[in-house]
Amino acid sequence: MAEQLNEYQGKATMEKITSLAKRRGFVFQSSEIYGGQNGAWDYGPLGIELKNRIAGAWWKEMTQINDDIVGLDAAILMHPRTWEASGHVENFTDPLVDCKKCKARFRADMIPEENLAAKKCPECGGELTDTRKFNLMFKTHIGPAEDTASIIYLRPETAQGIYVNYKNIIQSNRMKIPFGIAQIGKAFRNEIVTKNFIFRTCEFEQMEMQFFVKPGSDDEWFNEWKKRRWAYYDRLGVKMDHLRWHQHGPDELAHYAKDAYDIQYLFPMGWRELEGVHNRTNYDLTRHTQFSGKDMQYIDQDNNNERYIPYIIETSAGLTRNVLMILCDAYDEEQVADKGNDDDWRTVLRFHPSLAPVTVAVLPLMKKDGLAELALDIRRELKEDFATDYDQAGAIGRRYRRQDEAGTPFCVTIDYQSKDDGTVTLRFRDSMEQIRVPKSELTARLRQEIKDYKRIK
Ligand code: GAP
């Protein structure tokens, strides 16, 4: 199975991705100098650019391409009643068991059933405790007193910030059903098992869109959003044979869901959830009506002031999990030349140019004879339109490899001919093809290349 996965997955393994991410400044362990903090990661210079671009692509898709979706940025700290209404205080739990002997802690649904039945630790064979429910919400206190009245939660999903604002948005922005509200932000879960790098963490980011529809039209909208989310990943250039749907069975459905499908991605460790599309019915708004005493009904002014509590179709993607997916999807190792020496392998991240942290690197062939100055001039111009890098250190072949490993789709090299005739070399990351382009045409050419980009491997 492992072999089959590796062949299917290409060259990526979690070890290679984690090590490249650190080496090139995508992702660092949080508080590394103190031995690291479990479940938390820091995004370095390349990582924050990649994360921002993934967030930007999603935000554009939701709020720019769709006329009927608007954005929101709600607070992480919400009134604690929110989480009673949403059902998280009561239901947002994982089943937990401990080993009495080796003290290892497991999620009961993640260990073999025979171990659970025999209460036998899968690691040391020691006796397991009874299964108990463990609430995943982080609790803290607001204000100076640490009593029950001051308890406040770090939000475990961004969705609730949207629900409590839905009437504000209808009123302020004159939205009519069907319409959506999109939000990107941090969420926190006290996960029992945090492994596989940034896949499952305690602090993470979500990109969630809640689409408010008339009851009865929810099944249709649910299917529509499934289609749109699938098409989105295709446009992003993701390997589509590494994506599949997984429908939640009755024992997997969240307490609020009528139907739910995950988009799973084939990560190096296997098929795992990337995003969920959920039909949350009118559960949340009904509960907020009950708990807040405020009327959450929609009044359909185009239809004799008909009143109803809308159904909600939710698309919920992990932003940080998307970063991991894009890194795995882009990762490749390739034998590139017939030189027969150590240099003829390269590691390359085949990011879509619209997601790459650096779009174009400018490289003078030599530092001397005015080439560096000319290259810096060209970079200054390109900076206006693209994320750029500049590198004048070392042999040009090594500089190309460094950019390949950072996923930079285009390199512009300035040589002696550039001084004579104003042309530069444009080198393409994926094919490694090089062409000469007048420097005056570079910006337009790069724009076109980004627009027309098709992944070749
Ligand atoms: N509002 C619905 C909701 O939160 P979910 O399936 O629990 O649904 C949605 O989470 C997405 O958030 C997941 O598909 C995943 O991408 C991401 N996610 C959830 N828990 C995560 C964690 N501990 N670390 C990183 N990403 C997580």
Which atom, in ligand 1's list, is nearest to the CA of 200?
A: 24
Four-residue CA torsion sign, 295, 300, 306, 311 = negative
| Residue 373, SS3 per DSSP | helix
Give the Å distance between the CA of 429 and the centre of ligand 1.
33
Give the Å distance between the CA of 187 and the centre of ligand 1.
9
Any residues with Cβ below 6 Å from ligand 1, and which? Answer: 157, 159, 189, 191, 200-201, 204, 206, 208, 273-276, 314, 316-318, 320-321
pLDDT digits (tens, 9 = 90+) for 287-345: 999 999 999 999 999 999 999 999 999 999 999 999 999 999 999 998 886 555 556 78
Four-residue CA torsion sign, 273, 279, 281, 286 = positive
Give the Å distance between the CA of 158 and the centre of ligand 1.
10
Q: How far apart are CA 85 and CA 76, in angstroms?
A: 16
Which atom, in ligand 1's list, is nearest to the CA of 208?
A: 1
- Poorest-confidence range of 242-246, 280-284, 365-369, 437-441? 365-369
Q: What is the pTM of this model?
A: 0.95
Residue with tokens 């990661």: 41
CA 8 to chain centre: 22
pLDDT digits (tens, 9 = 90+) for 129-143: 999 999 999 999 999
pLDDT digits (tens, 9 = 90+) for 171-204: 999 999 999 999 999 999 999 888 899 999 999 9
At 112, the amino acid letter reads: P
Among 185, 93, 80, CA closest to 139: 80
Give the Å distance between the CA of 199 and the centre of ligand 1.
10
pLDDT digits (tens, 9 = 90+) for 234-260: 999 999 999 999 999 998 898 889 999
Q: How many helices (H) and strands (E) does the chain have?
A: 15, 23
Give the Å distance between the CA of 240 and the centre of ligand 1.
21
